[in-house]
A and B are shown apart, each in its own frame.
Chain A
Amino acid sequence: MLNYIQGLSTFAKTAPLLAKEVDDTRIFGIDPQLLADAAIMGLAMMVLFTLLSFLLFNPARELLEKRQQKIDDDLKSASESKEKMEELKLEYNEKLKNVDKEADEILSESRKKALKRENQIIDEAKAEANRIIVQANKEAELEKSKVKDEVKKEMISIASVMAGKFVDESIDEKRQAALIDETLKEMGDSTWQS
């Protein structure tokens, strides 16, 4: 302890002496050196501020802003497409809901159409059949009247032939009967039956 105090006192005595030996150092002083150093530091700070603004802060911020802008745009377009998708989805759902209805409609419509067409075809067929029948009847009628006319003509010709024969040979009753039979035979059965 005593040694320590002695040491301190020796230090206190020697320190100021040593101080005089070296005077190219300083720690603190309010003198022109302070002002000059402060001015140099101020200048250095301005240079640093300018260079850092130019090299670091402004370009970095620009880059960040660009990226921010891009992210914003992406998010915006993403939300827009999402909205669009939702809309489309709604539309599709609506459509899907209506599809059954529509299909039913189409089916019933086609059924109706088919039925209509069927009826039409049947009607047409009936009409055609009627027409054919009427035609056939007409033709038959025509044929009948034709045949009648022919028979009449035949009968007339037969009568005239028979009359001629009667006149040619005024003959007895036996002969007459034989003549009629002969004539009839000549004409044939078919003449009468058609």
Chain B
Amino acid sequence: MSDIIVLPSHALLGRTVDFSIHYLKEYELFGHKLYITTTHVSIAIVMLIILIFAVCANIAIRKADPYKKPGKFLNLVELLVETLDGITINGMGKTYGYKYRNYIGSLFIFLFVANLSGLLGLRPPTADYAVTFSLAMISFVIIHYAGFKYQKLGHITDLFKPLLLTPINIIGEIATPLSMSLRLFGNILSGTVLMSLVYGLLPKALTYIVPGFLHAYLDVFSGVIQAYVFTMLTMVFTAQNFDVEE
């Protein structure tokens, strides 16, 4: 299965359109032939960017005197943390929301940078189903951990109410991570495919002008929206299982 499409010569000068994940290095695990891929490199770069920011923020915070006016960078850090906390508390309520602040914040920052990494010329990590699937599975675990913690056995018995709809309820629960992961994957992959098609098919000169608008929509707008949607859905599904209504 190949995702490098070499267009027929008369269609567009035989230029290649590449939007696939490349295998970089082979390794073996439990008898399977597996590969280190470009996705891993992208993940590493995205994490590096985030961690450099975090380390700078940490240094700024350590240096800062809480009783004095904060500097510009510190202000930015505070704004970021407060906004993410605000989103979490708004989405999950005051009672338990604060417990999830760090994970929701980390998730949003990762998805945000990952989805925007197309702007840096990377293949966005979120355009690999493994990444979105993994994040959706973490969300799935968080959702059902909260379910068992706050609803106790009711979390299971609710599946059989009403009895006739039991299969649909079960499918609904399983569909949650699938829909979340596929939505994010599809959105970002479509953006990646479209961008590589545009870069591959347009005459070279035009690629300096046209993709700007498309990047604005496909990478920035769509990417940020999808990052928000993914975190929002994680929050909503988790908060559904809380034993308090807010």
Residues of A within 8 A of B (CB): 3, 7-8, 10-11, 14-15, 18-29, 32-42, 44-45, 47-49, 51-53, 55-61, 63-64, 66-67, 70
Contact = CB atoms under 8 A, between A and B. Distances in A.
A24 B40 contact: no
Contacts of A55: 51, 54-55, 57-58
Interface of B: 1-8, 10-11, 19-23, 29-30, 32, 34-35, 37, 39-40, 43, 47, 50-51, 53-55, 57-58, 61-62, 64, 66-67, 77-78, 81-82, 84-85, 101-103, 105-107, 109-110, 125, 128-131, 133-135, 137-138, 185, 189
A70 B69 CA distance: 12
Nearest to A56: B54
Nearest to A57: B102
Contacts, number: 164
A32 B106 contact: no
Contact of A10 (B2, B8, B21): B8
Contacts of B51: 48, 51, 55
A176 B220 CA distance: 169
Given A51-B54, A56-B77, A23 B1 contact: yes
Closest 9 CB pairs of A and B: A37-B130, A19-B2, A41-B134, A66-B66, A38-B134, A25-B20, A55-B54, A60-B81, A32-B32
A23 B20 CA distance: 11
A143 B43 CA distance: 140
Max chain A Cβ within 10 angstroms of own Cβ: one of B51, B66, B85? B66
B135 A19 contact: no
B3 A67 contact: no
**Interface SS of chain B: helix, strand, loop or mixed?**
helix
B11 A7 contact: yes
**Interface SS of chain A: helix, strand, loop or mixed?**
helix
A39 B133 CA distance: 10
A108 B165 CA distance: 100
B54 A52 contact: yes
A15 B3 CA distance: 10
Given A7-B10, A23-B1, A52 B50 contact: yes
